[in-house]
Amino acid sequence: MADQLSSKIRSGKAVFSAWSGIPSQYVAEACARTDFDTVTLDMQHGAQTTQSVTDGIGAIRLAGKPAIVRIPVGRFDMASRALDLGASAVIAPMINSVADARAFAESMKFPPLGGRSWGPHRAITLGGYESNQAYLESANADSLAIAMIETREALDALDDILAVDGIDGIFVGPSDFSIAWSGGKTVNPVLDDMMEGVAEIARRAKAAGKFPAIFVFDPGVVAQYAGYGYQLFAMATDGLYIARGAGDLVAAARQAVKSS
């Protein structure tokens, strides 16, 4: 049985992820019930906890969508745990070296590829796997390990990171990348100067057979990134969705009163 997310990625189609930092299964479910392909629960900068991720993955999967978890920096124990709880992919921030990439892959893949420990009971239930054996046979291919490239060190080590077996894709964090690119002078996720670097990362990832992903605030840049070869777009953020939706609604209501 192939996982919905890995099948979509392997088909080469564009994949759009909602991004949820609010630790609530209701918010996760609301995001999953939109036209997004998947929902990412953010434990790095978002307020998601082990408990809210447990609840959120259930809510997303029961809404018929695959779930992704972004773990905190270096928390590779949480990567395995997210998979056990039913996540289809894990995004690991600040993968700056081959050692980081190997440690991440080790936590994500069962032997012989890695050293993931057995215990995916919730994943088996939510995924409708027929048996433990069926899960074991598809887990390494279906559980996507996505390494974040967001520093100069990561860029310098990119080809070696891409060569690590068990790393399936890379994910550019454009805010951190802009800080690194400008030597700490600016934070701007669409910094003009760094676009050559952003394009180069996608080109090298694809040449290595790994899929490139990126974080996006403004849908206006998606076509440009797709042109570079990016395939997975994570779109910020649940707080912004609420603020924009509420803002539009109340503005329309106030306008209606004014013009009546």
Query: Containing H/E element for 175?
Result: helix 174-181
Q: What is the 3-state secondary structure (H, E, C) of 50-68?
A: HHHHHHHHHHHHHCCCCEE
Question: In the complex with Mg ion, which residue's Cβ is closer, 126 or 154?
Answer: 154
| 215 touches ligand 3PY (CB under 6 A) | yes
Q: Are 37 and 57 in contact (CB under 8 A)?
A: no
Is 189 a binding residue for Mg ion by CB under 5 A? The answer is: no
Task: Sort strands 144-149 and 169-172 into parallel, antiparallel or unpaired.
Answer: parallel
Q: Is 238 in the site for ligand 3PY (CB under 6 A)?
A: no
Which of the stretches 8-16, 112-120, 171-179, 238-246 binds Mg ion when contact is defined by CB under 5 A? 171-179
Can you tell me which of 3, 84, 100, 176 binds Mg ion, judged by CB under 5 A? Answer: 176
Active site residue 121: no
Site for ligand 3PY in 138-167 (CB under 6 A): 150
Q: Report the site for ligand 3PY in 170-189 (rule: CB under 6 A).
A: 173-176, 189
**Which CB sits closer to Mg ion, 8 or 70?**
70
Distance between CA atoms of residues 115 and 40, nearest Å: 24
Query: Which of 10, 33, 45, 75 is labelled catalytic?
Result: 45
Number of C-beta neighbours around residue 100 at 10 A: 23
How far apart CA 250 and CA 67 sit, in angstroms, is: 31
What residues act catalytically?
Answer: 45
Give the binding site for ligand 3PY (CB under 6 A): 93, 150, 173-176, 189, 215
